[in-house]
Amino acid sequence: MPGPEGTAAATAARRPAAWDLPPVAANLFTTADGTPRLIGSACRACGTLAFPQQQSCPRCCGEDVTAALLPPEGTLWSWTVQRFAPKSPPYAGGEAGFSPFAVGYVALPGGIAVQGRLTGTDAPGGYRIGMAMRLVLEPFLRQDGTTVAGYAFAPAPGDSDQPAGRGQVAGDGPAAGPDDGSVAS
């Protein structure tokens, strides 16, 4: 699922299907202004941003906070690859058909870094600290058969420098959990 690209007109013409899926949770993101945006909160006293929206400020603990749409583009702070299927619950995706996926933090203007899945590369290890990233919505298949929209970050169109990461060492097949195939004792 490619992320939205190009001009607003082109985006409208190629409105990604994920935008019309029910969101994985309410009040997490919006496409109301024609591009996906995360919904965070901003402290009116000290300006600190938080995601998801919360009722008090994580920095000054003030309770005068307001909803704020976070900037949709930033740079990759760090990342890893989830090589094994997380346990369900809490993971809604299940073990069947699991493919490793990347996870990271993207530093956005305004001093906040947001955690999310990473997408938009050929291999889950194809990321680099500092690369330009942008928010996208993508379909997420739950093991109950329903599909919802989740958010993720994909390399921004301007960032063509995408060296293969060392994450490909283990391949993209089913990966062992940290406790499978124990060290013999």
Partner 1 sequence: MSPGSLAIVGAGIHPFGRNEGVSGLQMGVAAARAALADAGISWADVQFAVGGSDSAGKPDTMVSRLGLTGLPFTNVINGCATGGASLVTARAAIAAGQHEIGLVVGFDKHPRGAFDPRPEDWGLGAWYGDLGLMVTTQYFGIKIQRYMHDHAITSASLARVAAKAFRNGERNPAAWRRKPLTDEEILASPMVADPLTQYMFCSPSAGAVALVVCRPELAARFPAPPVYVRAVSMRSRRFGSFEVFSPSMPVTRGPSPSQEAAQAAYAEAGIGPGEFDVVQVQDTEAGAELMHLAECGLCEHGAQEELMRTGATELGGAMPVNTDGGCIASGEPIGASGLRQVHETVLQLRGQAGDRQVDGARTGFTHVYGAPGVSACAVLSR
Backbone dihedral angles phi then psi of residue 56, each to the nearest 5 degrees = -145, 170
CB of 114 to partner 1, least distance (A): 5
What's the CA gap between 131 and 76, in Å, rounded?
5
Cβ atoms of 135 and 107 closer than 8 Å: no
Output 35 or 140, the one with its CB closest to partner 1.
140
- Judged by CB under 8 A, which stretch of 1-9, 14-22, 155-163, 173-181 contacts partner 1? 173-181
Asked if 49 touches partner 1 (CB under 8 A), the answer is yes
What's the CA gap between 107 and 127, in Å, rounded?
14
Return the residue of 36, 71, 72, 150 that touches partner 1, per CB under 8 A: 150
Binding mask of the shown chain, residues 105 to 144, with x at each position contacting partner 1 by CB under 8 A? x-x---xxxxxxx-------x---x----------x-x--
Any idea which residue has 């909803």 for tokens? 67
Cβ atoms of 77 and 113 closer than 8 Å: yes
CB of 15 to partner 1, least distance (A): 22
Asked if 62 touches partner 1 (CB under 8 A), the answer is no
How many angstroms separate the Cα of 148 from the Cα of each of 92, 126, 137? 11, 25, 10
Output 9 or 184, the one with its CB closest to partner 1.
184
Cβ atoms of 121 and 162 closer than 8 Å: yes
What's the CA gap between 1 and 142, in Å, rounded?
17
Asked if 90 touches partner 1 (CB under 8 A), the answer is yes
Tokens of 174: 């089913």
Per CB under 8 A, residues contacting partner 1 are 24-25, 28, 40, 48-52, 58-59, 77-84, 86-87, 89-93, 101, 103-105, 107, 111-117, 125, 129, 140, 142, 148, 150, 165-167, 169-170, 175-185
